[in-house]
A = this chain, B = another copy of it.
Amino acid sequence: MTKRPADPANGSAPAARQVPMRDFSRSLPMSLLRAREAVMRQFRPSLREHGLTEQQWRILRALAAIEAAEVTELARTAFLLGPSLSRILRDLEGRNLIERKTAKADQRRSMVSISKEGVKLMASVAPTSEAIYAEITRRFGARKLAELQDMLGELEQSLAGLGASEEASAEE
């Protein structure tokens, strides 16, 4: 009995609620989520074939780029939260894709680096990954892509330091 509107574009506006709010599908978080999903959907199958998740791949890439890093630094680079990173590192270490050794100067810190096997795995994934990225760039347009990246960066900047306690000074 319910034929759903196949096209979300036009305004069938079914009985407006008391709380109007913006059109749901146009909220910024939603747009970002959908765009990202559209992109990631391209990469996941290839990564999966190599036994890697998106996050594991991020970590390997980050490590390959910076050679060796403390866990906290790696978390920042790969944009993962500490707890997630802890779990993933445990797994990657078990698979011998990374190596870990506690720093001598500070026993709390541990230096993480990619192993030979890790490098090998990356080498086997990278070509496909790059090809996919190239196709995305081709479809969307290199210029627009750069523009988009710029805007995303600006967005991030304009929201930097708005969240929790933020500036002021009367903190402590």
Of residues 135 through 165 on chain A, the ones whose CB sits less than 8 Å from some CB of chain B are 135-136, 139-140, 144-145, 147-149, 151-156, 158-160, 162-164
Query: Contacts A67-B14, A130-B21 hold; do A34 and B148 have CB atoms under 8 A apart?
Result: no
Q: Is there an interface contact between B153 and A19, defined as CB atoms closer than 8 Å?
A: no
A86 near B: Cβ within 8 Å? no
A-B contact pairs, 18 of them (CB 8 A): A7-B68, A17-B119, A17-B122, A19-B123, A21-B130, A22-B130, A24-B62, A24-B77, A31-B148, A31-B153, A32-B32, A32-B152, A35-B152, A41-B162, A45-B164, A144-B151, A148-B151, A148-B155
Q: Which residues of B lie under 8 Å from residue A135 when comparing CB positions?
A: 162
Q: Which residues of B lie under 8 Å from residue A70 when comparing CB positions?
A: 2, 4
A102 near B: Cβ within 8 Å? no
Copy total for this chain: 2
Q: Which residues of B lie under 8 Å from residue A61 when comparing CB positions?
A: 21, 24
Shortest distance in angstroms between A27's beta carbon and chain B's nearest beta carbon? 7
15 further contact pairs, Cβ within 8 A, besides A8-B77, A139-B162, A148-B152: A2-B69, A2-B103, A7-B68, A14-B65, A14-B67, A19-B64, A19-B126, A21-B130, A22-B130, A29-B54, A32-B39, A38-B160, A39-B155, A41-B159, A41-B162
